[in-house]
Chain A
Amino acid sequence: MDLNDLYRDVIVDHNKSPRNFGDLTDADHSAQGFNPLCGDELTVYLNIKDDQITDVRFKGQGCAISIASASLMTEKLKGLSVEDTRQLFGKVHSMLTADAPDIPVDEMGKLAALQGVRAYPSRVKCASLCWHTVIAALDKRATPVSTE
């Protein structure tokens, strides 16, 4: 286990300066997510037009992994179709949890920086919380998502 593989520069940077952070007042989709184990909480906001994500923002508090993951996710999702978002969630989930995942590096882009999380099972929930939350927003689920 190499700590530098977990806290890569891009993760430290996105934790320090999260992108797309804050309210999206006219959001047509939103959902809340909690990680009771460490107290992380996120709200994800989406605007969707013609089945395409036109805007996405998030707010909340959490560890570096959860904040950086959410920040990287928002950068990636803008312009993506709803269906592509759901498929990407599956690939991210596999990257975070599978024993020997086949990571489509080109498609993942900066999200691939999160692959180091796989070696730290207790941190997988931190990285995946934002993704579970965005899927809940797409599904228009009213009850907050919990990782427990």
Chain B
Amino acid sequence: MSSTATEIAASEHSEAPDFGRLRADFPTLNQRVNGHPLCYLDNAATTQKPESVISAVANYYRKNNANVHRGVHTLSERATADYEGAREKLRQFIGAESTREIVFTRGTTEAINLVAQAYLRPLVSSGDEVLITGLEHHSNIVPWQMVCEQTGASLKVAALDENGEVRLDEFHRLLSDKTRFVAVSHVSNALGTVNPVGEMIEAAKTRGVPILLDGAQALPHMHVDVRDLDCDFYALSSHKMFGPTGIGALYGKASLLEAMPPYQGGGDMISMVSFEETRYNDLPYKFEAGTPNIAGAIGLGAAIDYLNAIGMTQILNHEKAMVAAALDGLSTIPGLRLIGRPRERAGAISFVIDGIHPHDIGTIVDADGVAIRTGHHCAMPVMQHFGLPATARASFAFYNNEADIERLLRALEHCRNVFA
């Protein structure tokens, strides 16, 4: 753990942490881009990594590199302890009952595909329906489309309103006797909308329909407790929450995971193999075929330690104030139109400027050292809903501050001057 985060952990709990000092824990943030100090506002695409995460990954490769669950030698036992330790950290972080319910995957996308193929595909056929929303990232659309294509089931989509919120009347109307599964994002990557997942989960429960939450954009911004939520599956990505890329997890209720066939076959997911018969390993290993991303999991564990040291409630409060200030500032830019005005927002703000294509905005602000995302944000249906090919999106993390907002606003003024 970084010294700053540790100090803060030791000293706080009475007062808010000094978020300005936390910035120093992130080496990438301490550089100049195109002659300007980096202003990183593309956190919904991926977050930067604190020194403690980078060290944890390097430490595994420098000192403990060995395969997990295999050898009796010392390094293998160390690697296994750290890998399984990361699983326990994640279990605690999201409030799961048991580490049996935490399956490491490559990320949110693989977690959703796992549920689509191993849980849903064997259960549905023609006449059955899968319900999603108009807010979804492609990774929470395409896996369900694939299952529908494979089985003859149909995909239903609860439409958005003009504010970029899911129309709950539509959601309730489409949730019917035919619905076999519901999959919704906890927080939208494109618009920042926080879905009313409590109400959605309750509605699905009432009908006995299992529900998956895509939590990729929620975990970096808020405290999540899967038992409080009472969702059946929760998918997440490490790199969106200050950990390494290429690792994520699926939380699933043990009773559901137990009933599911394996997703992929190979080593580690078996308890016994002969050419006549193979017995599958217990949870969660049944779903972890092959040597996993050991360093990635350990890095994710370090990221969770880092977040715990600050406190997710502190992060939520800090970011709420920052996003509100950013919205105020953006509303002063002439010709700027916010895309999506959800009542509850986390992380991301999408916008367009009259007469300037988002792609040009992205290039011009980059020349000022400001990194934002422009394009369809892997959510083309959201763009279609608003009749736009693309938007510009600024997305925040706890290490951003008022100066970043100032930099963004000045860079957007620069855009307007280029095209004046």
Are B367 and A3 interface neighbours, CB within 8 A?
yes
Q: Which of B100-108, B246-254, B273-281, B357-365 contacts A (4 or more CB under 8 A)?
A: B357-365
User: Nearest B residue to A62 by beta-carbon distance?
Assistant: B357
Q: Which of B334-382 contact A (CB under 8 A)?
A: 355-360, 363-364, 367, 374-376
Contact of B389 among A6, A40, A65, A126 (CB under 8 A): A40
Known: A37-B375, A38-B375, A39-B389. A126 touches B418 (CB 8 A): no
Are A63 and B357 interface neighbours, CB within 8 A?
yes
B: contact size bracket: 10 to 19
Are A64 and B419 interface neighbours, CB within 8 A?
yes
Contact of B390 among A3, A6, A15, A39 (CB under 8 A): A39
Are B389 and A61 interface neighbours, CB within 8 A?
yes
* C-alpha gap A16/B360 in the complex (Å): 13
Are A64 and B360 interface neighbours, CB within 8 A?
yes
Known: A12-B419, A64-B360, A126-B359. A38 touches B390 (CB 8 A): yes
Are A38 and B389 interface neighbours, CB within 8 A?
yes
Tell yes or no: B219 within 8 A of A by CB. no
Least distance between A125 CB and chain B CB atoms (Å) = 10
In the complex, per-residue mask of B369-401: 1 if CB is within 8 Å of any chain A CB, else 0: 000001110000001000001100000000000
User: Nearest A residue to B414 by beta-carbon distance?
Assistant: A3
Number of residues on chain A facing chain B (CB within 8 A): 21
In the complex, per-residue mask of B134-145: 1 if CB is within 8 Å of any chain A CB, else 0: 000000000000
Least distance between B35 CB and chain A CB atoms (Å) = 9
Which of A1, A6, A12, A38 has most B Cβ within 10 Å? A38
Tell yes or no: A89 within 8 A of B by CB. no
Are B419 and A38 interface neighbours, CB within 8 A?
no
- Complex interface: chain A residues within 8 A of B34 (CB): 1
* C-alpha gap A65/B390 in the complex (Å): 15
- Complex interface: chain A residues within 8 A of B389 (CB): 38-41, 61
* C-alpha gap A41/B380 in the complex (Å): 14
Q: Which of A30-87 contact B (CB under 8 A)?
A: 37-41, 61-65
Which of B355, B363, B364, B375 has most A Cβ within 10 Å? B363
Are A1 and B419 interface neighbours, CB within 8 A?
no
User: Nearest A residue to B375 by beta-carbon distance?
Assistant: A38
* C-alpha gap A1/B355 in the complex (Å): 24
Q: Tell me if B's interface is mostly helix, strand, loop or mixed.
A: mixed
User: Nearest A residue to B368 by beta-carbon distance?
Assistant: A3
In the complex, per-residue mask of B25-36: 1 if CB is within 8 Å of any chain A CB, else 0: 000000000100
User: Nearest A residue to B420 by beta-carbon distance?
Assistant: A12
Are A123 and B375 interface neighbours, CB within 8 A?
no
- Complex interface: chain B residues within 8 A of A15 (CB): 419
* C-alpha gap A15/B355 in the complex (Å): 10
Known: A1-B34, A12-B418. A39 touches B383 (CB 8 A): yes
Known: A1-B367, A3-B367, A123-B363. A38 touches B418 (CB 8 A): no
Contact of A6 among B357, B363, B376, B419 (CB under 8 A): B363
- Complex interface: chain A residues within 8 A of B367 (CB): 1, 3
- Complex interface: chain A residues within 8 A of B357 (CB): 38, 62-64
Least distance between B418 CB and chain A CB atoms (Å) = 5
* C-alpha gap A3/B389 in the complex (Å): 24
Tell yes or no: A7 within 8 A of B by CB. yes
Are A38 and B364 interface neighbours, CB within 8 A?
no
Are B363 and A120 interface neighbours, CB within 8 A?
yes
- Complex interface: chain B residues within 8 A of A65 (CB): 359-360
Known: A38-B389, A126-B359. A3 touches B374 (CB 8 A): no
Q: Which of A83-139 contact B (CB under 8 A)?
A: 120, 122-123, 126
Least distance between B266 CB and chain A CB atoms (Å) = 32
- Complex interface: chain A residues within 8 A of B375 (CB): 37-39
* C-alpha gap A64/B418 in the complex (Å): 11
Least distance between B138 CB and chain A CB atoms (Å) = 12
Are A3 and B364 interface neighbours, CB within 8 A?
yes
- Complex interface: chain B residues within 8 A of A64 (CB): 356-357, 360, 419
* C-alpha gap A61/B357 in the complex (Å): 9
Residues of A near any B CB (own CB < 8 A): 1, 3, 6-7, 12, 15-16, 37-41, 61-65, 120, 122-123, 126
* Besides A38-B390, A64-B360, 14 new A-B residue pairs in contact (Cβ under 8 A), listed by A number: A1-B367, A3-B363, A3-B367, A12-B419, A16-B419, A38-B359, A38-B374, A39-B390, A63-B357, A63-B360, A64-B419, A65-B359, A120-B363, A123-B363
Residues of B near any A CB (own CB < 8 A): 34, 355-360, 363-364, 367, 374-376, 383, 389-390, 418-419
Q: Can you offer 14 A-B residue contacts whose CB atoms are under 8 A?
A: A7-B418, A7-B419, A12-B419, A16-B419, A37-B375, A38-B374, A38-B390, A39-B376, A63-B357, A63-B358, A63-B360, A64-B419, A65-B359, A120-B363
- Ranked nearest first, the 4 interchain pairs of A and B with the lowest CB-CB distance are A39-B389, A63-B357, A63-B359, A3-B367
